[in-house]
Chains A and B, each alone.
Chain A
Amino acid sequence: MSTTTEGRAPEAAPAPAPEKRGLVDWLVGRLGLSATMEDQYNRIVPKHATNYIYCFGGIAFVLFIMLAVTGILLAVYYQPTPDAAYQSVINISTHVQFGWWVRSIHRWSAGGMVLLVFIHTLRVFFTGAYKAPRELNWLTGVFLFLITLGFGFTGYLLPWDQKAYWATKVGTDIAGSVPLIGHFLLVTLRGGEQISAATLGRFFDLHVLVLPAIIVALLLGHFWMIRRHGISGRL
Protein backbone atom coordinates (compact mmCIF):
# COMPACT_ATOMS: atom_id res chain seq x y z
CA MET A 1 0.00 0.00 0.00
CA SER A 2 1.40 3.31 -1.08
CA THR A 3 1.49 6.13 1.38
CA THR A 4 0.49 8.55 -1.32
CA THR A 5 -3.05 9.71 -0.82
CA GLU A 6 -5.26 8.82 -3.72
CA GLY A 7 -6.05 11.59 -6.20
CA ARG A 8 -3.04 13.62 -5.20
CA ALA A 9 -0.14 14.13 -7.53
CA PRO A 10 3.08 12.61 -6.36
CA GLU A 11 5.25 15.15 -4.63
CA ALA A 12 7.48 16.86 -7.20
CA ALA A 13 10.88 18.22 -6.40
CA PRO A 14 10.28 21.68 -4.85
CA ALA A 15 10.56 24.38 -7.49
CA PRO A 16 13.18 26.97 -6.74
CA ALA A 17 11.52 29.87 -4.97
CA PRO A 18 10.95 32.60 -7.57
CA GLU A 19 13.43 35.38 -7.04
CA LYS A 20 11.81 38.58 -5.85
CA ARG A 21 12.00 40.78 -8.90
CA GLY A 22 10.81 44.29 -9.56
CA LEU A 23 9.66 46.02 -12.72
CA VAL A 24 13.18 47.12 -13.62
CA ASP A 25 14.50 43.56 -13.41
CA TRP A 26 11.57 42.37 -15.53
CA LEU A 27 12.30 44.97 -18.21
CA VAL A 28 16.02 44.18 -18.15
CA GLY A 29 15.24 40.48 -18.58
CA ARG A 30 12.71 41.01 -21.38
CA LEU A 31 14.97 43.37 -23.30
CA GLY A 32 18.12 41.33 -22.76
CA LEU A 33 19.93 44.21 -21.13
CA SER A 34 21.57 42.39 -18.25
CA ALA A 35 25.04 42.65 -19.76
CA THR A 36 24.52 46.37 -20.42
CA MET A 37 23.24 46.96 -16.89
CA GLU A 38 26.12 44.94 -15.45
CA ASP A 39 28.49 47.18 -17.39
CA GLN A 40 26.83 50.32 -15.96
CA TYR A 41 26.94 48.98 -12.39
CA ASN A 42 30.57 47.98 -12.60
CA ARG A 43 31.87 51.30 -13.79
CA ILE A 44 34.05 53.03 -11.25
CA VAL A 45 34.39 56.79 -11.22
CA PRO A 46 38.12 57.48 -10.98
CA LYS A 47 39.10 59.19 -7.75
CA HIS A 48 40.48 62.28 -9.48
CA ALA A 49 37.09 62.76 -11.16
CA THR A 50 35.11 62.80 -7.90
CA ASN A 51 35.43 66.54 -7.92
CA TYR A 52 32.99 69.37 -8.45
CA ILE A 53 34.77 70.62 -11.54
CA TYR A 54 33.76 67.35 -13.23
CA CYS A 55 30.06 68.09 -12.62
CA PHE A 56 29.54 70.97 -15.04
CA GLY A 57 28.65 68.81 -18.05
CA GLY A 58 26.08 66.93 -16.00
CA ILE A 59 24.58 70.16 -14.65
CA ALA A 60 24.37 71.52 -18.18
CA PHE A 61 22.45 68.37 -19.17
CA VAL A 62 20.04 68.75 -16.23
CA LEU A 63 19.42 72.33 -17.37
CA PHE A 64 18.81 71.02 -20.89
CA ILE A 65 16.16 68.62 -19.56
CA MET A 66 14.49 71.45 -17.64
CA LEU A 67 14.58 73.65 -20.75
CA ALA A 68 13.01 70.89 -22.84
CA VAL A 69 10.18 70.34 -20.35
CA THR A 70 9.45 74.02 -19.73
CA GLY A 71 9.84 74.75 -23.46
CA ILE A 72 7.20 72.14 -24.32
CA LEU A 73 4.92 73.75 -21.75
CA LEU A 74 5.52 77.29 -23.03
CA ALA A 75 4.76 76.16 -26.59
CA VAL A 76 1.24 75.32 -25.40
CA TYR A 77 0.43 79.03 -25.06
CA TYR A 78 3.02 80.79 -27.23
CA GLN A 79 1.86 82.05 -30.62
CA PRO A 80 4.64 82.72 -33.17
CA THR A 81 3.02 85.54 -35.13
CA PRO A 82 3.96 89.23 -34.91
CA ASP A 83 0.42 90.18 -33.89
CA ALA A 84 0.10 87.67 -31.09
CA ALA A 85 3.64 86.78 -29.93
CA TYR A 86 4.15 89.55 -27.37
CA GLN A 87 0.61 89.32 -25.99
CA SER A 88 0.86 85.55 -25.69
CA VAL A 89 4.09 85.89 -23.69
CA ILE A 90 2.45 88.49 -21.44
CA ASN A 91 -0.50 86.12 -21.13
CA ILE A 92 1.81 83.31 -20.02
CA SER A 93 3.48 85.53 -17.43
CA THR A 94 0.34 87.13 -16.01
CA HIS A 95 -2.69 84.90 -16.57
CA VAL A 96 -1.66 81.29 -17.03
CA GLN A 97 -1.36 79.64 -13.64
CA PHE A 98 2.30 79.06 -12.81
CA GLY A 99 3.09 80.58 -16.20
CA TRP A 100 5.50 83.08 -14.65
CA TRP A 101 7.19 80.13 -12.95
CA VAL A 102 7.56 78.00 -16.07
CA ARG A 103 8.76 80.96 -18.12
CA SER A 104 11.23 82.05 -15.46
CA ILE A 105 12.68 78.55 -15.23
CA HIS A 106 13.06 78.52 -19.01
CA ARG A 107 14.67 81.95 -19.08
CA TRP A 108 17.11 81.35 -16.21
CA SER A 109 17.97 77.81 -17.27
CA ALA A 110 18.74 79.11 -20.74
CA GLY A 111 21.29 81.56 -19.40
CA GLY A 112 22.62 78.95 -17.00
CA MET A 113 23.03 76.37 -19.73
CA VAL A 114 25.13 78.69 -21.89
CA LEU A 115 27.29 79.46 -18.86
CA LEU A 116 27.68 75.83 -17.76
CA VAL A 117 28.36 74.47 -21.23
CA PHE A 118 31.10 77.08 -21.48
CA ILE A 119 32.59 76.19 -18.07
CA HIS A 120 32.39 72.50 -18.97
CA THR A 121 34.32 73.26 -22.16
CA LEU A 122 36.96 75.08 -20.11
CA ARG A 123 37.23 72.11 -17.72
CA VAL A 124 37.74 69.70 -20.63
CA PHE A 125 40.29 72.06 -22.12
CA PHE A 126 42.35 72.62 -18.97
CA THR A 127 42.31 68.96 -17.91
CA GLY A 128 43.44 67.99 -21.41
CA ALA A 129 40.42 65.70 -21.80
CA TYR A 130 40.16 66.53 -25.52
CA LYS A 131 43.35 64.61 -26.37
CA ALA A 132 43.45 61.31 -28.27
CA PRO A 133 41.34 59.19 -28.40
CA ARG A 134 38.69 61.77 -27.44
CA GLU A 135 39.04 64.28 -30.31
CA LEU A 136 35.65 63.39 -31.77
CA ASN A 137 33.95 63.96 -28.45
CA TRP A 138 35.61 67.38 -28.20
CA LEU A 139 34.33 68.09 -31.69
CA THR A 140 30.75 67.17 -30.86
CA GLY A 141 31.18 69.28 -27.73
CA VAL A 142 32.16 72.30 -29.78
CA PHE A 143 29.08 71.84 -31.94
CA LEU A 144 26.94 71.39 -28.82
CA PHE A 145 28.25 74.71 -27.54
CA LEU A 146 27.41 76.40 -30.83
CA ILE A 147 23.93 74.82 -30.88
CA THR A 148 23.39 76.07 -27.32
CA LEU A 149 24.27 79.59 -28.46
CA GLY A 150 21.90 79.08 -31.41
CA PHE A 151 19.12 78.24 -28.98
CA GLY A 152 19.89 81.40 -27.05
CA PHE A 153 19.92 83.57 -30.17
CA THR A 154 16.71 82.19 -31.68
CA GLY A 155 14.88 82.09 -28.34
CA TYR A 156 15.72 85.73 -27.68
CA LEU A 157 13.54 86.88 -30.58
CA LEU A 158 10.43 84.94 -29.57
CA PRO A 159 8.98 87.43 -27.00
CA TRP A 160 8.92 89.90 -29.93
CA ASP A 161 9.63 92.96 -27.82
CA GLN A 162 11.97 95.84 -28.62
CA LYS A 163 15.00 94.13 -27.11
CA ALA A 164 14.28 90.97 -29.09
CA TYR A 165 13.83 92.89 -32.32
CA TRP A 166 17.03 94.89 -32.04
CA ALA A 167 19.14 91.98 -30.78
CA THR A 168 18.04 90.01 -33.81
CA LYS A 169 18.65 92.99 -36.08
CA VAL A 170 22.23 93.26 -34.82
CA GLY A 171 22.80 89.50 -34.81
CA THR A 172 21.60 88.97 -38.35
CA ASP A 173 23.52 92.07 -39.48
CA ILE A 174 26.67 90.38 -38.16
CA ALA A 175 25.80 87.26 -40.18
CA GLY A 176 25.37 89.59 -43.14
CA SER A 177 28.94 90.86 -42.79
CA VAL A 178 30.43 87.46 -43.64
CA PRO A 179 32.38 87.75 -46.94
CA LEU A 180 30.73 86.36 -50.07
CA ILE A 181 27.85 84.42 -48.46
CA GLY A 182 26.92 87.14 -45.95
CA HIS A 183 23.90 88.45 -47.80
CA PHE A 184 22.65 84.94 -48.43
CA LEU A 185 22.92 84.16 -44.68
CA LEU A 186 21.12 87.37 -43.79
CA VAL A 187 18.12 86.86 -46.07
CA THR A 188 17.97 83.15 -45.17
CA LEU A 189 17.85 83.94 -41.45
CA ARG A 190 15.44 86.84 -41.84
CA GLY A 191 13.31 85.31 -44.56
CA GLY A 192 13.74 88.55 -46.48
CA GLU A 193 15.70 91.76 -46.34
CA GLN A 194 13.96 93.01 -43.20
CA ILE A 195 13.00 91.43 -39.90
CA SER A 196 9.36 90.47 -40.31
CA ALA A 197 6.78 87.79 -39.61
CA ALA A 198 8.94 85.48 -41.74
CA THR A 199 11.88 85.99 -39.35
CA LEU A 200 9.76 85.14 -36.34
CA GLY A 201 8.47 82.00 -38.05
CA ARG A 202 11.96 80.89 -39.02
CA PHE A 203 13.44 81.51 -35.58
CA PHE A 204 10.54 79.68 -33.94
CA ASP A 205 11.05 76.74 -36.30
CA LEU A 206 14.77 76.67 -35.52
CA HIS A 207 14.18 77.01 -31.79
CA VAL A 208 11.56 74.28 -31.34
CA LEU A 209 12.16 71.85 -34.22
CA VAL A 210 15.55 72.07 -35.93
CA LEU A 211 17.91 72.78 -33.03
CA PRO A 212 16.27 70.30 -30.61
CA ALA A 213 16.62 67.51 -33.18
CA ILE A 214 20.29 68.37 -33.75
CA ILE A 215 21.13 68.75 -30.07
CA VAL A 216 19.52 65.42 -29.15
CA ALA A 217 21.49 63.65 -31.87
CA LEU A 218 24.74 65.30 -30.79
CA LEU A 219 24.07 64.60 -27.10
CA LEU A 220 23.52 60.91 -27.83
CA GLY A 221 26.86 60.82 -29.64
CA HIS A 222 28.52 62.83 -26.86
CA PHE A 223 27.27 60.46 -24.13
CA TRP A 224 27.92 57.29 -26.15
CA MET A 225 31.53 58.38 -26.65
CA ILE A 226 32.09 59.23 -22.97
CA ARG A 227 30.91 55.69 -22.16
CA ARG A 228 33.13 54.27 -24.87
CA HIS A 229 36.24 56.18 -23.80
CA GLY A 230 35.65 56.42 -20.08
CA ILE A 231 36.62 59.48 -18.08
CA SER A 232 39.99 60.86 -19.06
CA GLY A 233 43.02 60.21 -16.86
CA ARG A 234 44.32 62.62 -14.26
CA LEU A 235 46.61 65.45 -15.17
Chain B
Amino acid sequence: MTRRGFLKWFIAGFGALSLAGVLYPVVRFLKPPPAVSSAIGQVANIGALDSFPAGQLTAVTVHGQPAAVQNLNGKYAVYSLICTHLGCVVGVTGDTFKCPCHGSEFSPTGVVTHGPATLPLPTYHAQTQNGSLLVGPIDLSGAKYPTWYTGEFGA
Protein backbone atom coordinates (compact mmCIF):
# COMPACT_ATOMS: atom_id res chain seq x y z
CA MET B 1 0.00 0.00 0.00
CA THR B 2 1.31 3.38 -0.95
CA ARG B 3 1.70 6.13 1.59
CA ARG B 4 -0.85 8.21 -0.30
CA GLY B 5 -3.32 5.33 -0.38
CA PHE B 6 -2.87 4.70 3.31
CA LEU B 7 -3.44 8.33 4.19
CA LYS B 8 -6.51 8.44 1.95
CA TRP B 9 -8.07 5.47 3.75
CA PHE B 10 -6.99 6.80 7.11
CA ILE B 11 -8.65 10.15 6.51
CA ALA B 12 -11.75 8.55 5.02
CA GLY B 13 -12.01 6.20 7.99
CA PHE B 14 -11.48 8.97 10.50
CA GLY B 15 -14.08 11.10 8.70
CA ALA B 16 -16.61 8.27 8.69
CA LEU B 17 -15.97 7.65 12.38
CA SER B 18 -16.46 11.33 13.21
CA LEU B 19 -19.66 11.41 11.17
CA ALA B 20 -20.96 8.33 12.95
CA GLY B 21 -20.07 9.94 16.26
CA VAL B 22 -22.30 12.88 15.39
CA LEU B 23 -25.11 10.92 13.75
CA TYR B 24 -25.48 8.40 16.58
CA PRO B 25 -26.69 10.92 19.20
CA VAL B 26 -28.82 12.66 16.57
CA VAL B 27 -30.62 9.44 15.65
CA ARG B 28 -31.06 8.58 19.32
CA PHE B 29 -32.35 12.13 19.92
CA LEU B 30 -35.00 11.76 17.23
CA LYS B 31 -36.24 8.45 18.62
CA PRO B 32 -39.38 9.27 20.64
CA PRO B 33 -38.68 9.01 24.38
CA PRO B 34 -40.80 6.66 26.46
CA ALA B 35 -43.99 8.44 27.41
CA VAL B 36 -43.90 9.13 31.12
CA SER B 37 -47.33 10.65 31.38
CA SER B 38 -49.14 7.75 29.75
CA ALA B 39 -47.57 5.24 32.15
CA ILE B 40 -48.97 7.10 35.15
CA GLY B 41 -52.50 5.97 35.88
CA GLN B 42 -52.12 2.70 34.02
CA VAL B 43 -52.26 -0.66 35.71
CA ALA B 44 -49.14 -2.77 35.49
CA ASN B 45 -48.65 -6.43 36.30
CA ILE B 46 -45.40 -6.49 38.23
CA GLY B 47 -45.07 -10.22 38.71
CA ALA B 48 -46.29 -13.42 40.33
CA LEU B 49 -47.11 -13.28 44.03
CA ASP B 50 -44.59 -15.96 44.94
CA SER B 51 -41.76 -13.73 43.72
CA PHE B 52 -42.35 -11.47 46.73
CA PRO B 53 -41.20 -13.37 49.84
CA ALA B 54 -43.07 -12.71 53.06
CA GLY B 55 -41.61 -10.48 55.74
CA GLN B 56 -39.28 -8.49 53.53
CA LEU B 57 -39.23 -5.78 50.89
CA THR B 58 -38.60 -6.60 47.24
CA ALA B 59 -37.36 -3.82 44.98
CA VAL B 60 -39.33 -3.54 41.72
CA THR B 61 -39.93 -0.99 38.98
CA VAL B 62 -43.45 0.41 38.72
CA HIS B 63 -44.35 2.63 35.75
CA GLY B 64 -40.61 3.21 35.27
CA GLN B 65 -40.15 4.37 38.87
CA PRO B 66 -38.38 2.54 41.70
CA ALA B 67 -40.70 0.92 44.20
CA ALA B 68 -40.72 -1.90 46.74
CA VAL B 69 -43.27 -4.64 47.31
CA GLN B 70 -44.04 -5.61 50.89
CA ASN B 71 -45.58 -8.96 51.71
CA LEU B 72 -47.06 -9.04 55.22
CA ASN B 73 -48.28 -12.65 55.30
CA GLY B 74 -50.32 -12.36 52.13
CA LYS B 75 -51.16 -8.68 52.51
CA TYR B 76 -49.34 -6.80 49.76
CA ALA B 77 -48.37 -3.13 49.70
CA VAL B 78 -46.26 -1.28 47.14
CA TYR B 79 -44.23 1.66 48.41
CA SER B 80 -42.58 4.28 46.24
CA LEU B 81 -38.81 4.25 46.74
CA ILE B 82 -38.47 7.94 46.01
CA CYS B 83 -37.66 9.82 49.18
CA THR B 84 -40.18 12.41 50.31
CA HIS B 85 -37.31 14.66 51.38
CA LEU B 86 -35.48 15.52 48.14
CA GLY B 87 -36.35 12.75 45.70
CA CYS B 88 -33.41 10.37 46.10
CA VAL B 89 -33.93 6.64 45.57
CA VAL B 90 -34.37 5.03 48.96
CA GLY B 91 -32.55 1.80 49.71
CA VAL B 92 -34.22 -1.26 51.29
CA THR B 93 -32.58 -3.41 53.93
CA GLY B 94 -34.67 -6.32 55.19
CA ASP B 95 -38.01 -4.73 55.97
CA THR B 96 -36.99 -1.07 56.49
CA PHE B 97 -36.16 1.85 54.23
CA LYS B 98 -33.06 4.05 54.47
CA CYS B 99 -32.22 6.89 52.14
CA PRO B 100 -28.49 7.09 51.28
CA CYS B 101 -28.60 10.82 50.47
CA HIS B 102 -29.51 12.45 53.78
CA GLY B 103 -30.14 9.54 56.10
CA SER B 104 -33.93 9.54 56.24
CA GLU B 105 -35.31 6.26 57.57
CA PHE B 106 -38.77 4.79 57.26
CA SER B 107 -40.49 2.01 59.20
CA PRO B 108 -41.84 -1.12 57.45
CA THR B 109 -45.12 0.77 57.03
CA GLY B 110 -43.42 3.77 55.38
CA VAL B 111 -43.63 6.07 58.41
CA VAL B 112 -40.66 8.36 59.07
CA THR B 113 -38.48 7.06 61.91
CA HIS B 114 -35.54 9.34 61.27
CA GLY B 115 -35.39 12.75 59.57
CA PRO B 116 -34.86 14.89 57.58
CA ALA B 117 -37.89 13.54 55.68
CA THR B 118 -41.20 14.56 57.21
CA LEU B 119 -43.75 12.75 55.04
CA PRO B 120 -44.31 8.97 54.90
CA LEU B 121 -43.43 7.11 51.70
CA PRO B 122 -46.46 7.09 49.41
CA THR B 123 -47.94 3.80 48.27
CA TYR B 124 -49.34 2.60 44.99
CA HIS B 125 -52.84 1.23 44.63
CA ALA B 126 -52.30 -2.52 44.36
CA GLN B 127 -54.38 -5.67 44.28
CA THR B 128 -53.86 -9.36 43.65
CA GLN B 129 -55.44 -11.07 40.69
CA ASN B 130 -54.91 -14.63 39.42
CA GLY B 131 -51.77 -15.01 41.46
CA SER B 132 -50.09 -11.80 40.27
CA LEU B 133 -49.78 -8.37 41.74
CA LEU B 134 -51.40 -5.54 39.79
CA VAL B 135 -50.24 -2.02 40.53
CA GLY B 136 -52.23 1.09 39.65
CA PRO B 137 -51.57 4.79 40.16
CA ILE B 138 -49.68 6.21 43.10
CA ASP B 139 -51.76 7.34 46.07
CA LEU B 140 -50.78 10.89 46.99
CA SER B 141 -53.95 11.72 48.90
CA GLY B 142 -52.37 11.28 52.35
CA ALA B 143 -50.37 14.50 52.37
CA LYS B 144 -49.19 17.32 50.17
CA TYR B 145 -46.46 15.38 48.42
CA PRO B 146 -43.63 16.94 46.36
CA THR B 147 -44.11 17.13 42.60
CA TRP B 148 -41.56 14.48 41.65
CA TYR B 149 -43.99 11.61 42.27
CA THR B 150 -46.26 12.70 39.47
CA GLY B 151 -43.54 12.65 36.79
CA GLU B 152 -42.55 15.60 34.66
CA PHE B 153 -45.97 16.07 33.16
CA GLY B 154 -48.17 15.69 36.18
CA ALA B 155 -50.40 12.76 36.98
Contact = CB atoms under 8 A, between A and B. Distances in A.
Nearest to B153: A87
B36 A73 contact: no
Contacts of B30: 73, 76
B59 to A, nearest CB: 22
Contacts of A91: 33, 152-153
Contact of A95 (B26, B28, B34): B34
B28 to A, nearest CB: 4
Contact of A73 (B29, B33, B34): B29
A99 interface: yes
A91 B152 CA distance: 7
A206 interface: no
A94 B152 contact: yes
Interface string B8-32: 0000000000000000011011110
A87 B25 contact: no
A102 B25 contact: yes
Contacts of A95: 33-34, 36, 152
Interface in B27-59: 28-31, 33-34, 36
Contacts of A97: 25, 28-29, 31, 33
Contacts of B152: 87, 90-91, 94-95
Contact of B29 (A90, A94, A96): A96
Interface in A82-102: 87, 90-91, 94-99, 101-102
Interface residues of B, number: 11
Interface string A92-118: 001111110110000000000000000
Interface in B111-132: none
A76 B30 CA distance: 8
A91 B37 CA distance: 11
Given A94-B152, A95-B152, A73 B26 contact: yes
Nearest to A91: B152
Nearest to A98: B25
A63 to B, nearest CB: 15
Contacts of B25: 97-98, 101-102
Contacts of B34: 95
Q: Which of A87, A98, A99 has the most CB of B within 10 A?
A: A98
Nearest to B151: A95
Contacts of A90: 152
Contact of A102 (B29, B33, B36): B29
Nearest to A97: B28
Contacts of A96: 29, 33
A72 to B, nearest CB: 10
A24 to B, nearest CB: 13
Nearest to A69: B26
A109 to B, nearest CB: 14
Interface of B: 25-26, 28-31, 33-34, 36, 152-153
Interface of A: 73, 76, 87, 90-91, 94-99, 101-102
14 contacts: A73-B29, A76-B29, A91-B33, A91-B152, A94-B152, A95-B33, A95-B152, A96-B29, A97-B25, A97-B29, A98-B26, A98-B28, A101-B25, A102-B25
Given A90-B152, A95-B152, A102-B25, 9 more contacts: A73-B26, A73-B29, A91-B152, A91-B153, A96-B29, A97-B33, A98-B25, A98-B26, A98-B28
